[in-house]
Structure 1
């Protein structure tokens, strides 16, 4: 699950990856608290590490890309440091995984009508967002909303060509088994409270920048301590107060840094949040999904191993990407 999470996260972002893989973990390790807790930690580390080398892998990388600080292809220089960041704690945690093999399920799972086409449209959406930003100079969100239009058109086609079946009725089976696809219903299920939280955080950080506090902090961190020390500290702070507001603050400060240092702060903000369960959206999401099994203190037990991977990834980045 960790390897899948690592390579899935750059495409569908770290929080979505964590939610998808948590469903697998909870199904496979049902009742095995130790297995579920370690697997959840593994997913958080893998999802955050995988998301660090892609503009779509995390909100922090997306913000850096949209700001025009780093080009799309430059993020992939963080691939090797991200691999190191994941492999070190994953290797250590592998010795603590309980022995045994979970019971295999006998249920037959079939993909719903239109699922392959929707996956193709998702790939087209990513391509559209990248093309809009790189070739037309348009904000990436316009490409994503264009992708939403793709889904709306195809969803309309699915609804108009849907053949009602007995299981569509409340009197048969589980409601929603074979319902017609409704894109509006899927949008309504979005985590609006989370989106409003991020909106509030960004407004708050913007207010701090407006009244001058971020300028004072920037002068201390990036002038007195130096860019490398400051960017390493950004990752540690991200573990405590979440990486998104920290990256918003860095972007508001607008420190003068070269590409190596911007890659460093992108890496540290992305993977630093893995050190605590509350440090990233992926960790917070999994605490909600695996309530009682994946907790703050169970994650804290493995913080030294994760911190070792954090330090190693910084060293590897400076070694291969440093000037």
Structure 2
């Protein structure tokens, strides 16, 4: 038989042939081979090539998420791809074993969990965007800036407002609003701005921990039914302690002087206060739907979206009449500023507010839920649950969850815990809710609020600036846990 010689000394194993060979081996059925299982049983893929490849895909995707600020790749993109690849691997294996109905049912279960949270968050974001469009937050900022408060007063005022606003509005929106205030007041005083940003991140995360509406993690816990709406209030004092201890220490390093800043008057658009009222009514509807009717809270939230749409219709239908009336009043008063403003105002459009939702966050949430759900279906979460909640003390395991959430986003961490569903009492579920919520404050990258403020106060509030105060923040973290263990001992 005639031998084949390499042409011009080059190997026939070109990069293309190597790639094709790798893909052929990678996707061959033998690579994904699993031990035979009884009909109807879920396959354990934790010790297979398919499982290892899925773990590698998820880790790579999350490394890209963590490097978002450096590579400028939105965090939703890598996890969307990872979710598709992981479930594609699962689907391929289950088809090979004639069990595709199990993988399909598992995927639909995870998709339904995401859909409920997605619609809930979409309504909440729409209301927040509507309040922003009505200039309610601008008016609040102008009031704070124009009062001539000292630096230390602004530090405490923005911190407490972040703490008490974030349980209703999300912690990201609250942090951005308060950061705008401290940057306006601080001017060139970078130390004040940096300390205030750290303070705001801690306050927003702590405030969001004792309310189902304050953070995605608390919302997931409430939606899952492991903690009821009224029971979150047991975390109020531990959350307050988590904020007060580092805030008190940091406030000692702020020079207590006043810097008057002139802020232009902000004209709030018509219907702003009524939209706030509708938002509170929507929250009440969601709570009542879940508490008294036994239905998912998303039903109440979507009903609340209908409230906003109906009110938006009223604002549009009465828009021309309202503008004409206000223009006549401004002409009589010779108010040129208001006349100029009325010439620029446009009718309220609820669908524009929906379009301005944080779609990157919502799609990132989809990728995380499906990735973690896929790895859980493979059997990895059972292994983690066995390692953490069987071999460790439950309290230590829940404290570790909070520390982990400072490195990895708290959304996948909490979703993993909920998917594991360890056998814990109410006190422990409240503990892990607390630690996952406030643990992200230990590092600037540990929460959405921290990441957002690094972008808003770029070069002033940085990872290194936050890291300098991590030991102080850790004091608050430990103190809040001890207070919870002592104050809510009857719940354990």
Q: TM-score range by the shorter chain?
A: over 0.9
Q: 2:294 aligns with which of 114, 137, 148?
A: 137
Identify if the C-alpha distance between structure 1 residues 309 and 177 changes in structure 2 by more than 3 Å, giving closer, same or farther: farther
CA distance in 2, matches of 1:175, 1:296: 43
Is the counterpart of residue 206 in structure 1 residue 363 in structure 2? no
The CA deviation at 1:290 is 1.8
2:399 aligns to what? 232
CA distance in 2, matches of 1:26, 1:195: 28
2:243 aligns to what? 86
CA distance in 2, matches of 1:199, 1:269: 19
Give the secondary structure class of the aligned counterpart of 1:250: helix
TM-score calculated relative to the size of structure 2: 0.62
Q: 8 Å contact 2:184–2:261 — kept in the other structure? A: no
271-280 vs 138-147, which moves further:
138-147
Task: Map 1:68-147 onto structure 2 (within 5 A).
Answer: 68-147=225-304
The CA deviation at 1:252 is 0.8
CA distance in 1, matches of 2:310, 2:455: 33
Identify if the C-alpha distance between structure 1 residues 176 and 143 changes in structure 2 by more than 3 Å, giving closer, same or farther: farther
1:160 aligns to what? 317
Greater gyration radius: 2
CA distance in 1, matches of 2:164, 2:213: 12
193-202 vs 30-39, which moves further:
30-39
Is the counterpart of residue 196 in structure 1 residue 363 in structure 2? yes
CA distance in 2, matches of 1:174, 1:158: 17
Q: 1:276 aligns with which of 440, 443, 449?
A: 443
2:382 aligns to what? 215
Size of the alignment, in residue pairs?
318
CA distance in 2, matches of 1:35, 1:183: 38
Is the counterpart of residue 24 in structure 1 residue 191 in structure 2? no
Deviation string 1:75-104 (CA, Å, 9 cap, x unpaired) is 111111111100000001101223421223
Q: 8 Å contact 1:34–1:98 — kept in the other structure? A: no
1:300 aligns to what? 467
CA distance in 1, matches of 2:177, 2:349: 20
Q: 8 Å contact 1:9–1:51 — kept in the other structure? A: yes
Q: 8 Å contact 2:372–2:416 — kept in the other structure? A: yes
Is the counterpart of residue 3 in structure 1 residue 160 in structure 2? yes
Identify if the C-alpha distance between structure 1 residues 174 and 35 changes in structure 2 by more than 3 Å, giving closer, same or farther: farther
Runs of 4+ aligned structure 1 residues displaced above 3 Å come to 172-177
The CA deviation at 1:176 is 8.9
Give the secondary structure class of the aligned counterpart of 1:248: helix
Is the counterpart of residue 151 in structure 1 residue 308 in structure 2? yes
Q: 1:258 aligns with which of 408, 425, 434?
A: 425
1:249 aligns to what? 416
2:113 aligns to what? none
CA distance in 1, matches of 2:452, 2:283: 24
The CA deviation at 1:37 is 1.3
Give the secondary structure class of the aligned counterpart of 2:282: helix
CA distance in 2, matches of 1:25, 1:142: 38
The CA deviation at 1:31 is 2.9
Identify if the C-alpha distance between structure 1 residues 54 and 106 changes in structure 2 by more than 3 Å, giving closer, same or farther: closer
CA distance in 1, matches of 2:245, 2:344: 42
Give the secondary structure class of the aligned counterpart of 1:291: coil
The CA deviation at 1:174 is 8.0
The CA deviation at 1:173 is 6.0
Give the secondary structure class of the aligned counterpart of 1:11: coil
1:47 aligns to what? 204
The CA deviation at 1:106 is 4.5
Q: 8 Å contact 1:53–1:82 — kept in the other structure? A: yes
The CA deviation at 1:20 is 2.0
CA distance in 2, matches of 1:254, 1:46: 29
8-17 vs 273-282, which moves further:
8-17
The CA deviation at 1:177 is 4.4
CA distance in 2, matches of 1:31, 1:157: 45
Q: 2:215 aligns with which of 58, 61, 79?
A: 58
Q: 8 Å contact 2:408–2:446 — kept in the other structure? A: yes
Structure with the greater relative contact order (CA < 8 A, sep ≥ 6): 1 or 2?
Answer: 1
CA distance in 2, matches of 1:124, 1:9: 17
2:483 aligns to what? 316
The CA deviation at 1:287 is 1.7
Deviation string 1:180-217 (CA, Å, 9 cap, x unpaired) is 21111111111211211111111111011000001000
CA distance in 1, matches of 2:367, 2:263: 46
Deviation string 1:268-318 (CA, Å, 9 cap, x unpaired) is 000000001111111122222222221111111111110010001101100
CA distance in 1, matches of 2:421, 2:405: 18
Unaligned runs of 5+ in 1: 167-171
CA distance in 1, matches of 2:214, 2:350: 23
